Structure 1
Amino acid sequence: MLSAADNDLLTRTGIDTPMGQFFRQFWQPIALSEELMQKDGSPLCVKIMGEEFIAFRNTQGELGLVDSKCPHRGANLFYGRNEECGIRCVFHGWKFDIDGMPMELPNVPTGAQYHETIRLRSFPVAEFGGIIWGYIGATKSEAKNLAPPPMLEMGLLPESHRYVTKKLQECNWAQSIEGALDTSHFSFLHMPAPTVPSNQNADAPADEKRLKWIREDTLPQFSIIEHEAGFVVGGSRMADEGKRYWRAAQFALPSHSTTPSTLPGETYFGYTWVPINDESCWIYTYAWNPERPLTEEEVSKFKGGHGVIAEVDEHYIPIRNRSNNYLIDREMQKHINYTGVRGVAEQDAMIQDSQGRIADRTTEHLCASDIAIVQFRRKVMEGARAVTQGVKPLSALKPSTYTLRSGSYIADEGVEFEQVMLARFGTRSGLVVAKK
């Protein structure tokens, strides 16, 4: 268990907190590309780690990320006009470009000092993998030699090979990512009801044989391999004919993860958590296949919710959520699935949200299967403490270390995790090595 002080260190990401300063050393997703497709389109409100910004795409198609408040009287620029390569406050017409430079100050006399001194804070922004990324650790003018956003594999592939979306999660970012790294829970949370003899689950990205092994072996054996961006955790269960079924999941700083079910040739899944505030977060979720384009049938399935991808409305709010008790059906719970809630992502959200808006880790009792959770907390808390001492995370400077894969493999009894990773991915860490 954690002390109350350490729980605060882990969960709080405001600008004046160690974890908040740590997160601000990294690029963060601020929107999906599809939310800002139109030139001179509607500005988008961006709230991240308790701070509010405005994102917009100007007349030339360039992206801007600026403070939400006009420096004149503090009016919100969300209500502004995105026109002729700038965002104009509708209060008194002050207008700024994507770099925060004043373009027009209509009620300020020509030659007045404001024309030279007034600036709207503007932040670095980039587009990669169907996601718009922002860096709020420094303004554009302050950011020097800034590395690109993390090179997630899905962003290196043609658009036809990936599907990217997001969903709202109504709890603290840390307990949600802990739920993803805790792969042992699949033996219960995502299984059929105990009375159902079949091991099929149409919502899970795994076949009946794999689900049978997960269901029958509730005590996987875990191993961890650290790498430059974070670590990969592998859990092995008993399989048929004396084999072991391995499931490996990635964690990359500060809040990226990939799922453990993918076999060679299948589609990979991953997600990135972005704190909105300390009690809610966005989860950017993505599926990608490096070997082929996704089919229309797959994309249709993702839009309706599949695996870690939730079914969401036009505002990316899950259809089954905290406000409606995830549409839990007690008859379904008795006779069909273990939870009475449809969807793997929704089942995860239900149990993570149920821990409270911010989980109280002072009362928990961890066990052997929680090794990835312990390692996750250690990595991010060490990083947060280091930033307060002026030590910046090296992984933020090495975007290529984020091109990671994870998934499943069947090996003989006694084969070590490192050999499993080498056999499955060609590298001990799961890092994808570019072909020459």
Structure 2
Amino acid sequence: MVLKAEVNERLCRVGEGTPMGEVWRRYWFPALLSEEVPEPDCDPVRVQLLGEKLVAFRDSNGKVALIDRYCPHRRVELFWGRNEECGLRCVYHGWKFDAEGNCVDMPNEPDESNFKNKVKIKSYPTWEAAGVVWTYMGPEEDMPPKPNYEWLRAPDSFVHVSKTFESCNWVQGLEGGIDTSHSSFAHNENIHDKNALRTRVKNPKLEVEKGPSGFTYVGIRDLKEDGVYIRGYQFIMPAQQMRGAMVKWKTGEMEEFPSIAGHIWVPIDDEKTWVYNFIYSGSPDVPFTEEFVMEHESQFGRGPEDVLPGYKLKRNPSNDYLIDRDLQRNKTFTGITGINTQDFALQETSELPFTDRSLEKLGTADSAIIAARQLLLEAAKELEKGEKTLRGQDPETHGNVRGCDKLLPPGNIDWRVALKEDLTAKF
């Protein structure tokens, strides 16, 4: 699916009034982590989403507010404001705004003035789940139900969510995430291990099946007499990927059981992205331990030692991701430490502001990427025609799926039947 320049613009740009920007504004999506506004009346934080500059604060009652970053009086930043008594007060002239954007105090105007009742700034609703503050930035009358992904229903001790800054367009991050065959190359951590499942077969057969939330897709690797290795993914509109991952776990003895991981790529603007990373236990009986979470984050290049303030990675374009050419020659495919850091190196150094997709040469390995582009552009057309309900908004459907990672017996097996339970939510 080669995209002409004008179609690529439709796909990538997210500002207010753009086709894809309006699609994004019809979904609930992450705005920030709850830890960024940890307690009532804590410091406000700058937030930018879909090109809009906002400020977030947790008011005295514990409600997270997301409002226009600039005071409507003289357009100074409310980031400098005092978070007090259920509102954010501008330090320039004292104007104060509540979580709904209402001006509740205007102390530099006469006492008898009702001017404050005529002033209101942009505000967006928020909702918290799984340590994430979610928001909806579209028309109130078109607001869909709040999301109900399985990882939002898992108990706190069964799920972990982190966040990383990525300096590229959101589509570049998304398409890298839903590309399954690159894991045989970019994420090959031991080039001498010929038994690794994704190394033995580098050209998995991809099958994509569209559904009400997005699509299910699988990478099928035929290991002959050793069985058929299938990695099952979910793409949930507009930009969530879920995948399976078999992990070793300490439950008295070392035991293998499934976990599910994934990402949501949230556009900051046309050139920058927040990547929300989640992992949750595939077993309702086995919660995470702090040791596992730390090990997992470090493996992906997101451990405490890997991240700078502002959720930015220490390994970044300014230092060539600290690539180790000796490591590349002797052990790993890239020489870059951290699975997601490897992704970032390839995505952040691509063309700016976004890839020229008219020059691409896509093959059968790119079936999921092609399907995602089709669904996203289709949603933009539907919205322009006045459609109110978009694929992926319905919690009944997107809440019932998960990713999986499984080795099946040898033979020609229909994955839709064999993996039906594994691809169905358990929480």
Distance in 1 (CA, whole Å) between partners of 2:169 and 2:246 is: 27
**Cα deviations across residues 29-70 of structure 1 (Å, max 9, x unaligned)?**
111011111210011111011101111101111111111111
Distance in 2 (CA, whole Å) between partners of 1:170 and 1:55 is: 22
Checking the alignment, whether the CA contact within 8 Å between 1:193 and 1:334 is kept in structure 2 is no
Matched, 1:223 2:207: yes
Matched, 1:214 2:198: yes
Checking the alignment, whether the CA contact within 8 Å between 2:33 and 2:132 is kept in structure 1 is yes
Distance in 2 (CA, whole Å) between partners of 1:305 and 1:192 is: 11
Task: Find 1:235's aligned residue among 216, 219, 234.
Answer: 219
Distance in 1 (CA, whole Å) between partners of 2:176 and 2:213 is: 20
Q: Provide the residue aligned with 1:421 in structure 2.
A: 419
Distance in 1 (CA, whole Å) between partners of 2:301 and 2:205 is: 23
User: When the two structures are aligned, how many residues end up with a matched partner?
Assistant: 412
Checking the alignment, whether the CA contact within 8 Å between 2:209 and 2:216 is kept in structure 1 is yes
Gaps of 5+ in 2: 248-255
- Please, what TM-score do these two structures have when normalized by structure 2? 0.91
Distance of aligned partners of 1:308 and 1:248 in 2 relative to their CA distance in 1, 3 Å threshold: farther
**Secondary structure at the residue paired with 1:166?**
strand
Distance of aligned partners of 1:304 and 1:217 in 2 relative to their CA distance in 1, 3 Å threshold: closer
Letter matched to residue 205 of structure 2: Q
- Please, what TM-score do these two structures have when normalized by structure 1? 0.90
Letter matched to residue 425 of structure 2: V
**Cα deviations across residues 132-176 of structure 1 (Å, max 9, x unaligned)?**
0111113xxxx2473443212222111111111100111111111
- Counterparts in 2 of 1:16-415, with a 5 A limit? 16-138=17-139, 143-144=140-141, 146-192=143-189, 194=191, 196=192, 198=193, 209=195, 212-241=196-225, 243-262=227-246, 265-289=257-281, 290-291=283-284, 292-306=286-300, 311-357=306-352, 358-395=354-391, 397-403=393-399, 404-411=401-408, 412-415=410-413
Checking the alignment, whether the CA contact within 8 Å between 1:233 and 1:372 is kept in structure 2 is yes
Gaps of 5+ in 1: 200-208
Query: How far did residue 112 of structure 1 move?
Result: 2.9
Distance in 1 (CA, whole Å) between partners of 2:274 and 2:39 is: 22
Checking the alignment, whether the CA contact within 8 Å between 1:130 and 1:155 is kept in structure 2 is no
| CA RMSD in angstroms, aligned pairs only | 2.0
Letter matched to residue 160 of structure 2: Y
Alignment identity in percent? Answer: 34
Query: How far did residue 110 of structure 1 move?
Result: 3.1
Checking the alignment, whether the CA contact within 8 Å between 1:45 and 1:53 is kept in structure 2 is yes
Distance in 2 (CA, whole Å) between partners of 1:153 and 1:244 is: 27
Q: Provide the residue aligned with 2:252 in structure 1.
A: none
**Secondary structure at the residue paired with 2:238?**
coil
Q: Which has the higher strand share?
A: 2
Checking the alignment, whether the CA contact within 8 Å between 1:31 and 1:131 is kept in structure 2 is yes
Query: How far did residue 271 of structure 1 move?
Result: 0.9
**Secondary structure at the residue paired with 1:261?**
strand
Checking the alignment, whether the CA contact within 8 Å between 1:170 and 1:322 is kept in structure 2 is no
Q: For structure 1, which segment, 62-71 or 351-360, has the greater mean C-alpha deviation from structure 2 after superposition? A: 351-360
Distance in 2 (CA, whole Å) between partners of 1:417 and 1:178 is: 23
**Cα deviations across residues 186-234 of structure 1 (Å, max 9, x unaligned)?**
111111464x2x25xxxxxxxxx5xx23112122111112221100110
Query: How far did residue 376 of structure 1 move?
Result: 0.5
Checking the alignment, whether the CA contact within 8 Å between 2:163 and 2:276 is kept in structure 1 is yes
Distance in 2 (CA, whole Å) between partners of 1:397 and 1:229 is: 7
Query: How far did residue 266 of structure 1 move?
Result: 2.5
Distance in 2 (CA, whole Å) between partners of 1:149 and 1:308 is: 28
Q: Provide the residue aligned with 1:202 in structure 2.
A: none
